[in-house]
Amino acid sequence: MGLIAAGTMVLDGWVRRPGWLETDGPRIVGCGAGSPPRPADANFPDGTVVPGFIDMHVHGGGGASYTDGPTDGGAIAGAAEFHLRHGTTTTLASLVTASPAELLAGVRALAEAARQGTVAGIHLEGPWLSRARCGAHDPAHLRAPDPAEIDAVLAAGGGAIRMVTLAPELPGADDAVRRFRDAGVVVALGHTDATYEQAEHAIALGATVGTHLFNAMPPLHHREPGPALALLRHPNVTVELIADGVHVHPSVVGAVLAAAGPDRVAVVTDAIAAAGRVDGAFRLGAVAVDVVSGVSRVRGTSTIAGSTATMDRLFRNVNADAGLAAAALTTSGTPARALGLERVGRLRAGYDANLVVLDGDLRVAAVMVAGRWRAAG
């Protein structure tokens, strides 16, 4: 058993100063406000302890990409380890649009990584997306949902596929939403040119997430509100925000938090292999990407291609606008609930002992996964 104390802890959604928690093996067995019941095994009097970050939309980092899993045996573990050092204790690895054969190979590689516990599951971002809003996805491989392909992908995933992003206006999208929901897969709307009404229809069918809100979808207009407003208005929908100051203005992040509440906002990195690396040339699937001043764009265009962010940076950004409790909820509790993940997302008795220790500047000082301390920084 191990007893941890800190000057500040976010326990079950509440900020406690000071606070403590106790672990036994991989689980939290007790926690509370104030001084610990006995001398702590690990004490962080100037630190802040928060739930381990949960990134439900990330393509890679540290020079490695989840899409390279079929050809590079260390790519999946390398990307996950990079983000773990920045506090991400639960990763939903995202694949991008690819050919049918490449998609299945990518799913199989990540499914094996999920079985080993390297990642918590798979997010399919494509190939069932809008050409008009494809962003950094390869338009040559975009296609409408096909029942046979969906069944093949689900079979290859073996239960590891947890979320899929699709454009609800595509032919066959209604059946796709139903098929994925019946399989227990969270359906997200994104990379879409849908109308407000089409988005509402998909939500009624069972879509519950908005992929990187405002990005790769029509802007909100007072006569044609588009999918963003439909996603924001529905109480059962969680909206992703890439709160890096590049994808959406910080004031927009604040406005969305105020309108929807932090219990409906999941902060995501959408990071690519370039995260943690110097500027230069990279790839996102088959698409060439250049990173300049930390911003990744499709080569030769102004189109943003993922990000170079890490969850600890996004945590600091949300904290600066909305405070510590909101930062912890949007980076952990909300994504856990949106994905239906059990025993993660909060620091409370019975939950996994996944936590991040932040220093006085809210930078990662230590990371614990399932009761074991891991390297950070």
Task: Give pLDDT tens digits for 155-201.
Answer: 999 999 999 999 999 999 999 999 999 999 999 999 999 999 999 99
Tokens representing 26 are: 């991989």
pLDDT at 377: 65
> Per the structure, how many domains does the chain have?
2
Q: What region, left, alpha or beta, does residue 306 occupy, with left being phi > 0 and alpha being psi -120 to 50 degrees?
A: left
pLDDT tens column, 204-261: 999 999 999 999 999 999 999 999 999 999 999 999 999 999 999 999 999 999 999 9
pLDDT at 73: 83
Same domain membership, residue 21 and residue 60: no
Same domain membership, residue 136 and residue 58: yes
As a whole number of angstroms, the distance between CA 21 and CA 49 comes to 10
Res. 44: pLDDT tops 70: yes
Residue 29's CATH number:
2.30.40.10
Is 247 annotated to bind ligand?
yes
pLDDT tens column, 324-335: 999 999 999 999
Contacts for 131 with CB less than 8 Å, ≥ 6 apart: 139, 142
At residue 1 the predicted structure's pLDDT band, cuts being 50, 70 and 90, is confident
As a whole number of angstroms, the distance between CA 46 and CA 56 comes to 30
Are 160 and 106 within 8 A, CB to CB? no
Mean pLDDT of the chain: 97
Is 223 annotated to bind ligand?
yes
Tokens representing 59 are: 């393509």
Domain that holds residue 124: 54-337
Same domain membership, residue 165 and residue 281: yes
Same domain membership, residue 205 and residue 122: yes
pLDDT at 80: 97
Is 141 annotated to bind ligand?
no
Q: Dihedral sign, CA of 297, 85, 191, 107?
A: positive
pLDDT tens column, 80-129: 999 999 999 999 999 999 999 999 999 999 999 999 999 999 999 999 99
Same domain membership, residue 246 and residue 223: yes
Q: Which residues are catalytic?
A: 270
Q: What region, left, alpha or beta, does residue 326 occupy, with left being phi > 0 and alpha being psi -120 to 50 degrees?
A: alpha
Same domain membership, residue 132 and residue 28: no
Is 306 annotated to bind ligand?
yes
Report yes or no on whether pTM surpasses 0.95.
yes
- Please, what's the largest Cα pairwise distance for the chain? 62
Same domain membership, residue 190 and residue 104: yes
What average pLDDT score do residues 129-152 get? 96
Rg from Cα positions in the chain: 20
**Any bridge partners for residue 33, and if so which?**
19
Is 216 annotated to bind ligand?
yes
What average pLDDT score do residues 267-273 get? 98
Count of C-beta atoms within a 10 Å radius of residue 204: 10
At residue 375 the predicted structure's pLDDT band, cuts being 50, 70 and 90, is confident
pLDDT at 376: 72
Is 348 annotated to bind ligand?
no
Res. 48: pLDDT tops 80: yes
At residue 316 the predicted structure's pLDDT band, cuts being 50, 70 and 90, is very high
As a whole number of angstroms, the distance between CA 349 and CA 228 comes to 37
pLDDT tens column, 27-39: 999 999 999 999 9
Same domain membership, residue 37 and residue 70: no
Are 75 and 290 within 8 A, CB to CB? no
What average pLDDT score do residues 277-289 get? 95
pLDDT at 279: 96
Same domain membership, residue 102 and residue 241: yes
Helix axis angle, 226-233 relative to 250-260, nearest 10°? Answer: 40
Same domain membership, residue 311 and residue 222: yes
Residue 270's CATH number:
3.20.20.140
Same domain membership, residue 58 and residue 42: no
At residue 322 the predicted structure's pLDDT band, cuts being 50, 70 and 90, is very high
Same domain membership, residue 25 and residue 158: no
As a whole number of angstroms, the distance between CA 318 and CA 10 comes to 15
